Amino acid sequence: MRRLFLAFPGGKHKVLTMSYDDGRPEDVRLISIFKENGIKGTFHLNSGLYDDPQYQRNPKEQIPELYKGMEISCHTYTHPTIARCPSTEVVKQTLEDRIQLEKYAGYPVRGMSYPNGSFSKEVEIAMEACGIEYSRTVRSTHSFAMPENYMEWDPTCHHNDPKLFDLGREFLALHKTQYLYMMYVWGHSYEFTNNDNWDRIEEFCRMMGGQEDIWYATNIEIVDYMKAWKQMKFSADGTFAFNPTAYTLWIDVDREMVPVPAGQTLHF
């Protein structure tokens, strides 16, 4: 009997993703480091703080160019500790952030990271009703497992975690293709200036970038791919599949990596 497994784009089984909050001017430098190394990241922005000089945010006119190739994602409109807010405020904070960010992003913005790491079941429900499809927490797992609940998406670690480089090396060495692995690093770009440790992220990105067996993805690319893959229709005997989505989806068929183009039926 054939063995069929989900594979990431390109037939890969490891994904690296980065996630940075608040949209401060240091994002410019961080994005150039990501781009030099072929790494992708998600940037969680508070669109309601852009015009307030006390918050040092990038001017919103620069958003489309600055975050090109990265993901623009929500972080609520004005960064309240959201679990303390009534549901009506959660809805307003989420929807208004989406509406404003989408003016600059040009695509439906569906990601979130919880401001101050605060959330609750009620918050998740309200945000999902506003079209949010994932939200990142600040709980480090030190693991490479795929998330079970994307509305409580726990990162592997913060970039200042003492284990960052050990975890990176461990991730690079993973080779068992029967598992999917994700490494997820988060932080704020201004921390590199405050802590005077830009060399830390430069070294990490140099170490992790340019690897043949790693898929470099934004947060939402991972969510979209996993959701699309679940829509694939497999024949009962496992000899063919129909991909009804707009994505090329990859299957590991007896260790051979097979791409199924969008909208097509493929016999293996």
**What residue ranges bind Zn ion (CB under 5 A)?**
21-22, 115
Shortest Cβ 75–Zn ion spacing (Å)? 6
CB-based burial label for 138 (10 Å; 0-12, 13-18, 19+)? middle
The residue number with the shortest CB distance to Zn ion is 21
The minimum distance between CB 219 and Zn ion, in angstroms, equals 15
CB of residue 116 to Zn ion, shortest distance in Å: 7
**CA–CA separation, 210 vs 189, rounded Å?**
22
Distance (Å) of CA 236 to CA 2, 80, 239, 242, 264: 11, 50, 8, 12, 17
Closest to Zn ion by CB, 138 vs 226, is 138
Minimum distance of Zn ion from residue 232's CB (angstroms):
36
Q: Of 187, 183, 185, which is closest to residue 214 (Cα–Cα)?
A: 183
Q: Give me the least distance between CB of 71 and Zn ion, in Å please.
A: 16
Nearest residue (CB) to Zn ion, 22 versus 71: 22
Phi/psi at 18 (5° precision): -125, 155
- Of 56 and 264, which CB lies nearer to Zn ion in the complex structure? 56
The nearer residue to Zn ion, 22 or 26, going by C-beta atoms, is 22
- Residue 196 neighbours by CB distance under 10 Å: 8
| C-beta closer to Zn ion: residue 115 or 155 | 115
Q: What is the dihedral of CA 129, 224, 265, 255, to 10 degrees?
A: -140
The Cα 150–Cα 73 span in angstroms is: 14
